[in-house]
Structure 1
Amino acid sequence: MKLRDFAHSRTGDKGNTLNVSVICYDEQDYAHLLLHVTEERVKAHLGDVVQGDVTRYELPLIGAMNFVLRDALGGGVTRSLAIDAHGKSVSSALLDMKVPARG
């Protein structure tokens, strides 16, 4: 399965830092996603897009996680030569991450 089968996402940017939220469709999937959508897996999945650290913040009351991706926008929105300088497509790329079915 893919992460998009369990959750949707939103993004925001500030300078060269990108926030990517992962919001569960069903709160019963939250604990499962905490096990499988880790900082390490997110960084590995996004590859060279994220040059810095990845930090996960857990928001259990709303069944969500927020990932802060540092050095992820090619120097920042006003400096980047990337087609998607704001990083909006990163949320779609993250939702392609493989996640095992909930047992």
Structure 2
Amino acid sequence: MSDRRCPAAHLDDPTVCGGPVVVTVLDRFNAGADGCEHHGARLLASLDGGRIYPLPDAPPGASIRVFKAAASIRPFCWLDGPRTAPSQLSRAENHTQSGR
């Protein structure tokens, strides 16, 4: 990607895109943004009830890679500070703490 970042990149997230735009991330109200796998995962991790869909020209497995990556990313991971509440932890961390 050029100096521009994909629509899924949060304004406060300083990271660069991880490739072309290949997925659409939707929230529980069906508002969405297209993004690269990197920012798609970061956005999905920050949504409660979000969903991921591959774009028609996405490489095979793009949406599942984003889904799996999002499970280990904390919501709004670019923010600093202590994180102890379940809503501040990744799905994987919450899963581990619940003993499942």
TM-score in terms of structure 1 length: 0.31
Higher helix share: 1
Question: Quick one: higher RCO (CA 8 Å, sep 6+), 1 or 2?
Answer: 1
TM-score (normalizing by structure 2): 0.32
